[in-house]
Structure 1
C-alpha cells in the first residue's frame, strides 16, 4: 500500500480543520504540488508536521479533496467505507419502509462522512453520483459494499467529473436488473417519471420533496399557478394534484414540454387543460406584463448559473431583479415561492434579496414559510455550504 501524501496546512486554516471542516481547498495548502494520482490518501499536517486529519485527493469544483477522519490510526479501507454506508442506510429505514415515498437520498456526501459521493434510491434502483476521479477510484469497493448490504434491483451511475464540465456518458448502467424507463416513483403519494440513463438529469430533484408537498397541500387549491424554469413540471404536477385552477409551466429547453406532459400523464392529469410553454422565462415575464397576466402563485427555481443566446443569469447577482419581475405579475395576496440551490450565499443573504426586491417595487410582503434540505439530505454541521437549498414562501400584501 502506498504511503499517504502529507499536505501542509497554512497556519490560518489549521483551527478550521481541527474543528472538523471537511473540504480540502487548494488555498489552505502550502504544498499542493506534491499531489499526484486522484484517490490518493492524504494527511493534513501543521507546520511542525503534527497530524490534523486524513482524507483523499479528488478534484471537483469545490476543492481538491475531502477529510474522512481525524483519527491517525483509522484506515481508509473497505471496512471504513462500509461503516459509513451502513450507518447512512440505517438512518433512512423510515424511507425504505414508506410506501408513499419511493425515491430518496441514501447517502449525502460529506453529510454522511464521504464527500464527493451521493447515492439515491428510485423504487428499487440505486443511482450513484461520483463527483471526482478521486472518489471514483473507490468504485469497486463501494459497489461491493452495496451488494453486501442488498436492498436493490439494479444500479446506475453518473460520472460528474468530465474535464470540460460536460456530461458525456451514453450508458450509466452498472449492474443488476436493467430498468425499463421511465421508472414511476412515488413522492408523498404523487407519481413522478424518472430515467436514470438519459444524461445528467433524471427528471426530478429529490431535495425539493417538502416544497412540492407544501404546494399541493397548502398553496395550490383554486389558484392560478405559474411555474418558471419548470424543467419536467414537477412543481406543476404538485399544484394540479392540489386542485389548482390552472398551471402554466415555462422553460427554455425544448424537451421540457414532452417531459412535463409525461409527468402529468403518470398522475392521470389532463395535460391539455394546463399550459406548457417553451420560452425563455425572462421573455415570458415581458409577455405576461404586456398581456396583463397575473398569477396567484409563482414558483421560481432558476439554475445557479445559466447562459442562453440572449443573456447570462447568475443567481448570486440577478435574483433580486428576477423577484422584481415576479412581483409585477403576482396578484395581491398572491404567493411567490422563491428557491435557490446556490451554495455560495446564506439564507440570510437570500432573505436580503427578497427584501430588496419588494422594497424596490414599493410592495409589502410577509414570509410565510422557509425550507432547506429534507432529512435524507444529511448535512455536516461543520460545513454550512452543504445545506445549499434555500426556499422562501413570500406573500405579496399590497
Structure 2
C-alpha cells in the first residue's frame, strides 16, 4: 500500500480539488491507464505537476476513488484512520449515551473524511459497509480501531462492491461474538428487529429516524395510515405507536409481510388489527380507487429505481405520477409524507415534482415540514449529493 500512483487532473477540475471536493471522478483524470490495483494511494497533480490532493483508487457507482487529505505529508496509515474514526465517534457521544436510542450511524463516509465506507451501531454491534474493493484494502486498520475502542459485542460487515453493483453474499461476521438474531434495537423508544447476518438490508433504515418520530409524535393520532413500499413496516410501527386508527402496509416483496408482523410484535402491537398486504404499490392504488378506499396519511418512500415483472419505476421520471396516484386516495386535508433517497435529485427539483403533481390534480397544498439526513449522518457541504435524503410532509388543501 506504499505504492503511490500519480494522476494528472484536467485543468477545469483542478480548482474543485484544491477546494476540497472529495470524490475522484473518471472525467477529471487524464491518465486513467496507470490505474490497475484498487486500494493504491493516489496523488492528484495539476498540469504543472503541483500536488492537489491525496486519496485512494476504489471503483464504485459514484466515481473511481475518494480524496483523503489535501496535505502532501499526511500518511495514510493506521494513525490516519484512527484519527478520523475517533473524531467521528466523539461527535456521536450523545447517541452512545442515549437511553432511548441505541441504533445510529457512527461513521458516514466522506461526511466524516473517508468516502466509500460507513459504520453503523446496533445495540453493541458494529456493522461496516464497504462500497469498493479499494476501501476494503484498508479493512485491517478500520477493524483495529473499533477493536481498540473495546466495549462491543461483535463486528459485522457488508461488501457492496460487486462489479454489477450487487451485494456480495458471504459470511458477514468479522470479529467478537456472533449475534443471536434478531437483535432488538431501540429508536426514540420504538423497537425494531434487525439482522446483521441476512443479506444486504438489516431491517430498518437509520436515516429515517427523525421522520419516524415526527410521524409518531405529530401526525399519526387517530389517522388511517397507508405505508407504501413499506419494506419491514418501520413507518407503520411509528404510526401505530402514535395512535393511528389503523395502518395499512403495502410492499411487493413476499418476505415483507413476515418481517412487518415481526416488527409489530416486538412493539407489543396486535398485527391482526393492521393490514399488511403483499402487492405492487401501483396495483394497490388501482384497487383502492376501485374499492373507494381513502386515507388520512400516505407515506411514500420508494426506491430510486425498481423493476418488477409489470413495470419499471424511476424516481427521476415517475415521482410526479406517484404523487398524483396518492392524491387520488388521500382525504381532504390529508397528509402525504413524500421521501426520496435519490442523490442526483436536489430538494428544489423534488419540491417541483410535488408542485407539478398537485397542480395537475387541481389540489392546493402546503409543506408542513422538510427533512434531510439526521445528525449522525454527517455530510460534507462541498459534496451536496452526499446529503441524499429529501422528505417533505405535505398537507393537502
Q: Same fold (TM over 0.5)?
A: yes
* TM-score normalized by the length of structure 1: 0.99
How far the C-alpha of 1:167 sits from its partner, in A, is 2.3
For 1:262 and 1:145, the matched residues in 2 are separated by: 34
1:354 alignment counterpart: 354
How far the C-alpha of 1:32 sits from its partner, in A, is 1.1
For 1:347 and 1:334, the matched residues in 2 are separated by: 22
- Divergent runs of 4+, >2 A: 164-168
1:231 alignment counterpart: 231
- 1:14 partner SS: helix
How far the C-alpha of 1:64 sits from its partner, in A, is 0.1
1:290 paired to 2:294? no
RMSD: 0.7
- 2:72 partner SS: coil
How far the C-alpha of 1:141 sits from its partner, in A, is 1.2
1:76 alignment counterpart: 76
For 2:285 and 2:180, the matched residues in 1 are separated by: 38
1:55 alignment counterpart: 55
For 1:108 and 1:2, the matched residues in 2 are separated by: 26
Matched positions, count: 397
How far the C-alpha of 1:99 sits from its partner, in A, is 1.3
1:216 alignment counterpart: 216
How far the C-alpha of 1:169 sits from its partner, in A, is 1.6
For 2:230 and 2:143, the matched residues in 1 are separated by: 34
1:185 paired to 2:185? yes
For 1:146 and 1:133, the matched residues in 2 are separated by: 20
For 1:188 and 1:211, the matched residues in 2 are separated by: 11
For 2:228 and 2:330, the matched residues in 1 are separated by: 13
Structure 2 unaligned segments of length 5 or more: list them: none
How far the C-alpha of 1:166 sits from its partner, in A, is 2.6
1:5 alignment counterpart: 5
For 1:22 and 1:168, the matched residues in 2 are separated by: 26
1:170 alignment counterpart: 170
For 1:185 and 1:339, the matched residues in 2 are separated by: 23
1:157 paired to 2:136? no
* TM-score normalized by the length of structure 2: 0.99
How far the C-alpha of 1:168 sits from its partner, in A, is 3.4
1:22-56 deviations in whole A, cap 9, x for unaligned? 00000111111111210000001100110000000
2:33 alignment counterpart: 33
1:253 alignment counterpart: 253
How far the C-alpha of 1:163 sits from its partner, in A, is 1.9
How far the C-alpha of 1:95 sits from its partner, in A, is 0.2
2:195 alignment counterpart: 195
How far the C-alpha of 1:2 sits from its partner, in A, is 3.6
2:137 alignment counterpart: 137
For 1:197 and 1:324, the matched residues in 2 are separated by: 38
Structure 1 unaligned segments of length 5 or more: list them: none
